[in-house]
Amino acid sequence: MDSVLQLGPLVLPWALIILLVGWQLGHWVHERLARRSGLTPGPHAWRLTLAALLAARLGFVLQYRAEYGAAPWSVLDIRDGGWQPWAGLAAALLYVGLLWLRRSPWRQPALAGVAVFATIWLAGLALLQAMAPQRPTELPDWRGVALDARSVALPELRGQSVVINLWASWCPPCRREMPVLLQASRAHPEVRFLWINQGEPPETALRYASQQGLPAADVLLDTASQLGRDLDSKALPTTLFYDAQGRLQAVRAGELSAATLAQHLGRITASGTARQASK
Residue 241 domain-assigned (yes or no)? yes
**According to the model, what pLDDT value does residue 144 have?**
94
| pLDDT for the residue numbered 277 | 43
123 and 153 housed in the same domain: no
Q: How far is 168 from 151, CA to CA, in rounded Å?
A: 20
Please give the residue range of the domain that contains residue 201.
Answer: 143-278
Task: Classify residue 137: in a domain, yes or no.
Answer: no
101 and 195 in a single domain? The answer is no
pLDDT interval class at 133 (50, 70, 90): low
Boundary-marking domain end, from 96, 130, 164: 130
pLDDT at residue 7 in the model: 61
Q: Is the Cβ–Cβ distance between 3 and 14 less than 8 Å?
A: yes
Tell me which of 130, 160, 184 is where a domain ends.
130
- 154-211 confidence digits (pLDDT tens): 999 999 999 999 999 999 999 999 999 999 999 999 999 999 999 999 999 999 999 9
Helix (H/G/I), strand (E/B), else coil: 101: helix
Q: So what's the pLDDT on residue 273?
A: 47
Q: 120 and 147: one domain? A: no
pLDDT (tens digit per residue) in 52-89: 999 999 999 999 999 998 888 888 888 888 889 899 99
Name which residue leads in pLDDT, 146 or 132. Answer: 146
13 by DSSP, 3-state: which? strand
pTM for this entry: 0.80
Q: Which of 250, 225, 230 is nearest to 168 (CA)?
A: 225
Res. 5 pLDDT band, cuts 50 70 90 = low
| pLDDT more than 90, % of the chain | 65
On the question of pLDDT at 124 being above 60, the answer is yes
- Picking from 84, 106, 130, the residue at the C-terminal end of a domain is 130
pLDDT average, residue stretch 127-150: 85
26 burial level (CB within 10 Å; 0-12, 13-18, 19+): buried
pLDDT band at 276 (very low <50, low <70, confident <90, very high): very low
> Average per-residue pLDDT in the chain?
88
Q: Structural domain tally of the chain?
A: 2
Strand pairing report for 219-222 and 238-242:
unpaired
**Is the model's pLDDT at 271 over the cut of 60?**
no
State the pLDDT confidence band at 39, using cuts at 50, 70 and 90.
confident
Instruction: Read off the CATH number of the domain in which 188 is found.
Output: 3.40.30.10
Q: What pLDDT, on the 0 to 100 scale, is given for residue 279?
A: 45
pLDDT at 275: 47
Measured CA to CA, the distance from residue 262 to residue 231 in angstroms comes to 22
